[in-house]
Amino acid sequence: MFKHGKQNARVRSGRENSLKWNTGVKDDNGKDIWIRVVDAKDYMTEEFNICMYVYSMTENLECLPFAGGWAEQPEWIAHAVTVLKVEQSLYEQEQREIEKHKH
């Protein structure tokens, strides 16, 4: 997942290591955690991509990957889907707050 396609954006030579990306995650002090753009691929592991795939398919198809209910799913699937659902919910809540303060 997300391994194919062309990257059209170009970064000026010498700036590759200076560009930062806000992860949307806060540290223990409530400050945003930023990472270097060149390091982002290190956070997108094969395991993360698999979890995102399972989550996306579960949400889009509205069914679980294996037959049966939640009790019949492998533990890692239940955990991954639950964590990503919470993250999605928090993101949506933040977006609603941003929209509310715009008006």
Q: Count other Cβ atoms within 10 Å, centred on residue 53.
A: 14
- Alpha-carbon gap, residue 23 to 44, rounded angstroms: 12
pLDDT digits (tens, 9 = 90+) for 38-54: 887 787 888 888 998 99
pLDDT at residue 6 in the model:
47
Total Cβ atoms within 10 A of residue 55: 19
Measured CA to CA, the distance from residue 81 to residue 83 in angstroms comes to 6
Q: Is the pLDDT of residue 71 over 90?
A: yes
pLDDT tens digits along 23-40? 777 888 888 888 888 887
Angle ∠(57,25,53) on CA atoms, nearest 5: 15
CA-based end-to-end distance of the chain:
37
Q: Which two tokens stand for residue 70?
A: 């939640």
C-alpha–C-alpha distance, residues 22 and 24, integer Å: 6
The C-alpha angle with vertex 8 and arms to 6 and 11, in degrees rounded to 5, equals 125
Decide: helix, strand or coil at residue 78: helix
